[in-house]
Amino acid sequence: MTVAKTISNQIQKLEPGILFTYQDFKVAPNAMEAMAAALCRLASKGIIKRFGRGKYFKPKEGAFGAVPLQENQIIESIIKDNGILTGYITGSAAYNKMGLTTQMSNEYTIATYEFRKPYQKGRIKARFVKAYCDITETNIPLLQLLDAFKDIRSIPGTETNNALELLKLKVEKLSLGEQTKLAQLALNYPPATKALVGAVLEAGIDKKASEKLYKSLNPLSKYTLGIKESILPNKDKWKIKG
């Protein structure tokens, strides 16, 4: 069977509206060029549509014509490169999902390893910020939590101390292993974030996880975060000011 026929048969089995790339097809390394050419021909015939470089999807027909690609598929194409995670959702979209705010921005904030220009594709807008740690499926919830600590004063529609109370509850619900991992990841974040996370961990059930964070801080530095003593009784030790 020719490469073109193999590709055509595999595409027939794919669900409409789902993004696919070269890596989704099982062909020999020496057949990659033939596969790329076959996909180009199918796109020119309208059987598939090109979404981006090396990315295609089968158009899904609705009552009023072709249905746009699902939003989650577009986001996945942004945060993955050849199936490998290179970014994750942070900012308002993540904080909304975490229950820290009811507001939503009209653009996504994506944390990535390297600087990228703002992205717009149809109705989807995204801007990119620095990722402080390795991006893995298991790390992402903890990274989003750390990002919320970092952005605590700028979470839209949420007062700083209210946000901290919610974050404290989320940290308390983590297992001891997850709290230890949170502290390890926090070491890569700015000093103010390390101080806030360390103080929360120390005030909770895992004081040991906060020790490295405390030792990593400059003893002369102070962090003005607008935190009340009633919310964080040990804030003075961590040089967290109101």
Instruction: Give me the pLDDT at residue 179, please.
Output: 94
Asked whether 4 and 38 are in contact (CB, 8 A), the reply is yes
Candidate from 56-60, 125-129, 152-156, 185-189 with smallest mean pLDDT: 56-60
Residue recorded with tokens 């919310």: 231
Which of 13-27, 48-62, 188-202 holds the top average pLDDT? 188-202
CA distance 123 to 106: 9
More confident residue, 170 or 36: 170
User: Mind listing the domains of the chain with CATH numbers?
Assistant: 3-60 (1.10.10.10), 72-241 (no CATH)
For the stretch 24-54, pLDDT in tens is 887 777 888 888 888 888 888 888 888 877 7
Contacts of 121 (CB under 8 A, 6+ apart): 51, 52, 74
3-state SS record for 38-107: HHHHHHHCCCCEEEECCEEECCEEECCEEECCCHHHHHHHHHEECCEECEEEEHHHHHHHCCCCCCCCCC
Tell me the pTM. 0.81
